[in-house]
Chains A and B, each alone.
Chain A
Amino acid sequence: MREVKTEITHKVPLAKRLLRALATEVDIELKACLYFFCILFYYSMYRLGIGSDNALLLHMAEMILVVYVMGYVQYFLMERFDQGEHFGTREILYMLVCVAVHIGVSILCNWYDKNLWVTVGFAAYLLVVYFSVYLVYKVLRMKDGKELNEDLRAFQERRER
Chain B
Amino acid sequence: MKFRVEHTDGEDEVVIRCREVTPKIERLLDILEGDGVRLVGVTESGAKSVIAIRDILYIESVDGRTYVYTEQEVVRVDFGLSQLIEYLDDIRFFRCSKSMILNIDKAKFLKSLASNRIDVTMVNGEHIRISRTYASDFRKRLRGE
Q: Footprint of B on A, CB under 8 Å?
A: 1-10, 12, 16, 20, 80, 83-85, 137, 141-142, 144-145, 148-149, 151-152, 154-156, 158-159
Contacts and interface: CB of A to CB of B under 8 A. Distances in A.
B110 A6 contact: no
A155 B142 contact: yes
A159 B105 contact: yes
Interface string B47-59: 0000000000010
10 contacts: A6-B96, A6-B97, A6-B98, A6-B99, A80-B115, A85-B114, A145-B112, A148-B118, A154-B142, A155-B143
A149 B60 CA distance: 24
Main secondary structure, interface of B, reads: mixed
Contacts, number: 78
B75 to A, nearest CB: 16
Given A148-B142, A149-B110, A152-B110, A4 B127 contact: yes
Given A7-B97, A144-B112, A159-B92, 18 more contacts: A3-B127, A4-B126, A6-B97, A8-B97, A8-B133, A12-B133, A85-B113, A141-B112, A141-B114, A145-B111, A148-B112, A151-B139, A152-B110, A155-B141, A155-B142, A156-B104, A156-B105, A159-B105
